[in-house]
Structure 1
């Protein structure tokens, strides 16, 4: 009797998983568009083009950088304007890029992009780490809602 109950319970609990809908075709097609937003952001940073840098972000976007130190991690939090001031006024050409294919998850009007990156100025690497972007699809298109990243000066791939 206990075996029949356990079997019935297992089948009942498994049923919702089997019936879960697959990702929509639109979500799969949005992956390239979402990555293009991040690529545009990196390109605007490189060109020091503030309007292009800000247009791909929501006005109320927030950004958190987590810097690895000998004592652990420190946090720097900025809004869109503060981040533009900090990055786009630095001397030299800033190049940020993913060093491996990032993971992109899309569901309806939300998306997450997560991947390892490196950043340098004038061809000299500053550090590497992990970028984590959250995007929202509004009436205009995909926009960066917030991002966080680690700043890891040691252990970058060659």
Structure 2
């Protein structure tokens, strides 16, 4: 009888470990797909391809920044996404290149967040850095960004990581 319980316990543990391994693999695949959607958004920006950037945006997506206003008070500021996408689609003399690193993805079912450090370069000139926070949901045709919020600063930037993020492309 003792052997039966030992074998039963081992079988239950084995099934549990197998289910956890499958769940971890699914979460890892989802995290890669979430990051790929964000990268695709920035690829569109680099290529001045508004259609590519728009392809990973949800209808009604929002773009906000948290920054000090002219009065010195910190407040969120919204840029109409349509205005931003129109800017992306214009041909630029110098490429807009936003590199990201320290990517952290959290997923709960069909909802995901991606938090990362970033630096924006216009051509080879550093513009600013900060943190991007994306919120996405799982649509029938893949992960869609419905909210982007960022911070912006010119000081306290990890320039070594910023340059390395550019070299990946």
Per the normalisation by structure 2, the TM-score is: 0.72
Alignment RMSD, CA only?
Answer: 2.1
For the 8 Å contact 1:27–1:108, the answer to whether it is kept is no
2:88 and 2:127 map into 1 onto residues whose CA distance is: 13
Comparing 136-145 and 70-79, the one that deviates more: 70-79
Report the counterpart of residue 30 of structure 1 in structure 2: 30
Report the counterpart of residue 83 of structure 1 in structure 2: 84
Secondary structure of the residue aligned to 1:95 is strand
Q: Of the candidates 96, 99, 109, which is equivalent to residue 98 of structure 2?
A: 96
> By percentage of residues, which structure has more helix?
2
Number of residue equivalences: 136
Secondary structure of the residue aligned to 2:155 is coil
Structure 1 unaligned blocks of 5 or more? 1-21
For the 8 Å contact 1:28–1:106, the answer to whether it is kept is no
For the 8 Å contact 1:60–1:79, the answer to whether it is kept is no
For the 8 Å contact 2:128–2:153, the answer to whether it is kept is yes
Q: Deviation of residue 68 (structure 1)? A: 4.3
Q: What does residue range 38-49 of structure 1 map to in structure 2 within 5 Å?
A: 38-49=38-49
Q: Deviation of residue 106 (structure 1)? A: 1.1
CA distances 1:76-100 after superposition (whole Å, capped 9, x unpaired): 31233122124443732000011x3
Report the counterpart of residue 51 of structure 2 in structure 1: 51
For the 8 Å contact 2:62–2:80, the answer to whether it is kept is yes
**Residue 81 and residue 104 in structure 1: after superposition, are their counterparts in 2 closer, same or farther (change >3 A)?**
same
Structure 2 unaligned blocks of 5 or more? 1-19, 160-169
